[in-house]
Copies of this chain bind each other. A is one copy, B any other.
Amino acid sequence: MTVTIYDVAREAGVSMATVSRVVNNNPNVKPQTRKKVYEAIERLGYRPNAVARGLASKKTTTVGVVIPDISNSIFAEIARGIEDIANMYHYNIILCNADKKKDKEIRVINTLLEKQVDGLLFMGGTITEDHVQAFQTASVPIVLCATKDENGTIPAVDIDHEAAAFDAVSTLVRHGHREIAMISGTLQDPANGYSRFQGYKRALETAGIEYQEDLVRIGNYRYESGVEAMKYFLGLKRKPSAIFAATDEMAIGAIHSVQDEGYKVPDDFSIISVDNIRMASMVRPQLTTVAQPMYDIGAVAMRLLTKLMKKENVENAQVILPHETILRLSVARLND
């Protein structure tokens, strides 16, 4: 039924080794022979079996990607960066959603490894001991993407979330704000949660502003939780003049919450956040935010992984990509 390399060899009157050589672009084939083989391939409609090749060569030219949720625009953007570079280096991607659930993460890591991926790109929640252990059983390189492990021993690419948050809040301070609230993510989340919260605190401290616990609400990164948190701030007797949201989505929720209550952004409340998702420039007022280069995070991580897979020696396997404050219209200078 299926035509194999052996059929082609017979049809072309050569050995299967020769067919293998032309299929793999091995230069050691006489042009004439090469031509014969190509013709036989054409005639028979031969299609190389990558699984057999993988078994024989111990390379699958596919890499595993574990991702929290592909329907989340941030990860989708990162994934696009990954895929583009993978494609460029002739790798394919096996994509697995794991929803930041530890069990699911460990499970997909293992099935990916069973599938003999040549490398692994991991995005997820907290990196636990169990993760590290799963990684260690792997005989292929692994790079973390948009996450980091505590001890910084695993190759990774990310931004400095603490510094990004610091910059965001400092921008508020520079505009004269001193009553600055924060809509945070859960402090259990090391990157988007804890680190960004730490950046907020450090910025306040640096500015000599006292940290007030009731000026912090914990959201779940989503729009609705931004709306809710802002409602709470709006109900305070002593309202903040500015809000730092850990993510754009929550910030946009906050903007609409403000507007729905008849207030104005930035006239009555300034709002800033971190991410720079596409939507940030699709709201009114357009959102001032600290951009993280999502596509690049994916692209650089994948590029790093290709080097690791080729056993090239990399100078620095812990790369921090720069972030950048994008001044738009949701932050106003405070005239007091």
What separation, in Å, do the CA atoms of A111 and B49 have in the docked complex? 10
Segment from A93-101, A179-187, A266-274 that makes contact with B: A93-101
* Chain A residues bordering chain B, tally (CB within 8 A): 52
CA A110 to CA B110, docked complex, whole Å? 27
Contacting chain B: which of A32-40, A75-83, A314-322? A75-83
- The residue in chain B whose Cβ has the minimal distance to the Cβ of A256 is B284
Q: Which residues of B contact A45 (CB under 8 A)?
A: 137
Known: A76-B71, A92-B96. A47 touches B137 (CB 8 A): yes
- Which chain B positions have C-beta within 8 A of A76? 70-73, 76
Known contacts A116-B51, A282-B279: does B79 contact A71 (CB below 8 Å)? yes
- Within 8 Å by CB of A62, from B115, B223, B252, B283, lies B115
With A and B bound together, what is the CA distance between A45 and B52 in angstroms?
A: 24
Q: Which of A47, A72, A113 has the most chain B CB atoms inside 10 A of its CB?
A: A47
CB-contacts of A141-167 with B (<8 A):
none
Alpha-carbon separation in the docked complex, A278 to B224 (Å): 11
Oligomer copy total: 2
Is A259 a contact partner of B284 (Cβ separation < 8 A)?
Answer: yes
Q: Does A114 contact B (CB under 8 A)?
A: yes
* A55 adjacent to chain B (CB < 8 Å): yes
* Complex alpha-carbon distance, A262 and B278, angstroms: 24
**Is A139 on the interface with B (CB-CB < 8 A)?**
yes
Q: Is A69 positioned at the interface, with any CB of B under 8 Å from its CB? A: yes
A116 & B73 in contact (Cβ 8 Å cutoff): no
Besides A50-B116, A51-B60, 12 new A-B residue pairs in contact (Cβ under 8 A), listed by A number: A50-B111, A50-B115, A51-B116, A62-B115, A69-B80, A70-B70, A70-B76, A76-B76, A84-B97, A87-B97, A253-B282, A279-B282
Show 12 A/B contacts (Cβ-Cβ < 8 Å), sorted by A: A1-B139, A47-B110, A70-B80, A71-B73, A71-B77, A71-B79, A73-B73, A84-B97, A95-B95, A223-B278, A256-B282, A284-B284
